[in-house]
Each structure stands twice: as structure tokens, then as C-alpha cells.
Structure 1
Amino acid sequence: MPHLSLPSLWIIVLDIFAWAFFHLVISVICLKMPLSVFLKDSVWFRLFAWEKSGKLWQRLFLVKKWKGRLVDGTAILKKGYGKKRLHGTGISDLKVFAAETKRAELTHWLSMAPAPLFFIWNPIWVGWIMIFYAGIFNLPFIIVQRYNRGRIDAITSGMNTRGTEALHE
């Protein structure tokens, strides 16, 4: 039983506005974080060996086929670093792009966190739907960020050891 009792129409409206609010506020907070936070090699964003520099995500989910259809949040907020295409091929450009994938990944992980709050005003079964929604909506974005960062990390590590020719392989 929800802690708050509202008519069904109001619950639906509240759910829509709550998700919009949470997504917007979390996105703005993450956008305001300095780039230096994401340029660091943090344990939170480290890629695992089993991800095989992003190849795992392509093998499991065929990321290349659908990643271009995802909406980049910068198009909605009109702020931030667009990740639909590279902004340059130099090592510093690629490192900034990789850092921005960390920002986007953090945004989507944090966007799932409010899901349990929906149990307050929704019936339990709807609360579970909200948890499911949070995962289904955000996980594709997280997968794409990890896929792209894996590829960029492989390129930049190759550039560090062999020069810029690794980018053109």
C-alpha cells in the first residue's frame, strides 16, 4: 500500500513529472561538475578486463547498430559536450571525450537512484515498474558510454606507445 493515496490520473502525472525532474536535476548537477573530476583515473569508472576494451558490449548487444539512435542529453539541455561524434583525433581530444563518457555514465547511474521513491505514492506493483523503467531507460546509455570509452582507451594507449598511427588502424 502506498504511503500517499491519490487518484490514478494524478499518480500518472506525478510519475511523469517526478522522472522529468529527477533526470533534469541529476543531469544539471553532473554537468556542473568540473571536467577534472572525470579526467582522473578513478576506480568508479575503470573498465574491467572482461569488457575487452568495449568489444564485449558490441558482442553482447550489437551496440554499433543502435547507439546512434539514442538521444544525447546535450541536445535537450543545450549544454555540455555532445558525444554523437568525435571533436578531434588528437590524444587530448580523445581523453576529453573519454572523460565526458564518464560524466554521462555517472549521470545515468545516478538517474536510477530515485526509483525506490516511487513506492511512496504508487502501488507496489507500479513501484517495481518504475525500478524496471529506470534500468531499461538508463542501462543502454551506460553500455554505450562504456563501449565508447573502451574503444577510446585502447586507441589512446596505442597512441601513447606507438604514436598517432593507432588511431587510423
Structure 2
Amino acid sequence: MPLVNLPHLWVVLIDIFAWAFFHLGISVICLKLPQSYFLQDKAWFRLGAWEQSGKRWQRLFFVKRWKGRLIDGTSILRRGYAKKSLHGTRLCDLNEFAAETKRAELTHWLSMAPAPLFFLWNPVWAGWIMVLYAGAFNLPIIMVQRYNRGRIDAITLATNKKGAGSFT
């Protein structure tokens, strides 16, 4: 039972505006975080060995087939680092791309966090739909970020082993 009983039309409108507010607000906050934060080696961004440098995401979910169809948030906000393609092949470009995948991943993890709030004004069944929406919208984007970062990490590791400053 929701904490607040509202007409269905109001509930739907509040849901739409609440999700827009949360998605945009969290995106703006994450865009304001300095890139230096994402260049650091933080444990929560590290890929697990089970991810096999992103290959596991491709094997399980065929990420390469559908990742190009996802909308990059930079096209909506008109700010940030577009991740549709690499901005260069030098080691610093690859590191910057990897850092921006971390920013996008954090943004989408945080975007799921408000989902339980929707139980306050939605019936329980609709609250669960909001939780499912949060996962269905954000988890594919998180998968793509981890897939791309795994690929970039493999390239930068190989480049570092060679001692070269660029990837060709």
C-alpha cells in the first residue's frame, strides 16, 4: 500500500518526472566529478577475472550486437565524453576512454538507487515495475561500460608491456 494515494494519472506523471529528475540529476552530479577520480584504480571499478577482459559480457549477452543501439547520455545532456568511438589511440586517449566508462558505470549504478522510493506513491505491483525498469534501463549500459573497459584495459596492458606510447 502506497504511503500517498493519488489518482492513476498523477502517479504516472510523477513516475515520469521523478525518473527524469533522478536520471538527469545523477548524470549532472557524476559529470561534475573530476576525471582524476576515475583515472584512479578503485576496487569497485576493477574488472573481475571472471569477466575475462570483457569477453564474458560478449559471450553471455552478445554485447557487440546491440551496444551501438544504446543512446549515449552525452547526446541528451550535450555535455561529457561521447563513448560511441575512441577519441584517439594514444595511451592517454585509451586511459581517458576507460575513465569515462567508469563515470558512466557509476552514473548508471547510482541511477538505480532511487527505485525503492517509488513504493512511496505507487501500488506495490507498480513499485516493483519501477525496480524492474531501473534494472532494465541501467544494467545493459553498465554491461557495455564493463565490456568496453575490459577491451581497453587489455589494449593498454599490451601497450604498457611493449613500452610503446600509442596503439596502432
Same fold (TM over 0.5): yes
1:86 maps to what in 2? 86
Q: Does 2:148 align with 1:148?
A: yes
Within a 5 Å distance, the mapping from 1:33-52 to structure 2 comes to 33-52=33-52
TM-score for both structures, normalised by structure 1: 0.97
Provide TM-score, normalisation by structure 2: 0.98
Any gaps of 5 or more consecutive residues in structure 2?
none
Per the TM alignment, residue 166 of structure 1 is displaced from its structure 2 partner at its CA by 8.9
Query: Residues 131-161 of structure 1: CA distance to partner in whole angstroms, max 9, x if unpaired?
Result: 0000000000000000000000000000000
Distance in 2 (alpha carbons) for counterparts of 1:166 and 1:130: 44
Q: How far off is 1:167 after superposition?
A: 4.0
Report the RMSD for the aligned CA atoms in angstroms: 1.2
Residues 26 and 165 (structure 1), Cα distance of their counterparts in 2 relative to 1, 3 Å cut: closer
**What aligned pairs does 1:16-95 form with structure 2 within 5 A after superposition?**
16-95=16-95
Q: Partner of 2:129 in structure 1? A: 129
Report the AA paired with residue 5 of structure 2.
S
Equivalent residue runs for 1:155-166 within 5 Å: 155-164=155-164
Report the secondary structure of 1:87's partner residue: coil
Amino acid at match of 1:156: T
**Where in structure 1 are there 5+ consecutive unaligned residues?**
none
How many residues were matched structurally?
Answer: 168
**Sequence identity (%):** 71
